Amino acid sequence: MTRLSEQRVAEIRGVLADVLEVDESRIGEDTLFKEDLDADSMKLIEVLARLEIEYDVEIDESELDRMVNLRGVCEVLAQALGAQEKAAE
């Protein structure tokens, strides 16, 4: 599985902060978007869409169940990027 660099994690944190309309400092690895940051499901769909655009990957909406915090988002994105790399081989 593809591991994300610290720089990429910081970029993702920035995307999350922008979409969720919170300061980046409020987004820890295990901060729950809905419970801790009052995000609704529409915001999470927007996160998914932004990641697809930013990183030119496809992420199935079923992955939203895993995308509850920064750690989950990074895992899903790493998996999508890994699948993309394999398809390119």
Would residue 40 show up in a list of annotated catalytic residues for this protein?
yes
- Between CA 79 and CA 71 the distance in angstroms is 12
User: What is the spatial distance between Cα 18 and Cα 47, in angstroms, rounded to a whole number?
Assistant: 9
How far is the C-alpha of 80 from the C-alpha of 26, rounded, in Å?
Answer: 25
Residue 10's identity, in one-letter code, is: A
Candidate list 18, 40, 56, 65, residue with the active-site label: 40
Closest CA to 16 of 3, 25, 7, 27: 27
Task: Please identify every residue annotated as catalytic.
Answer: 40
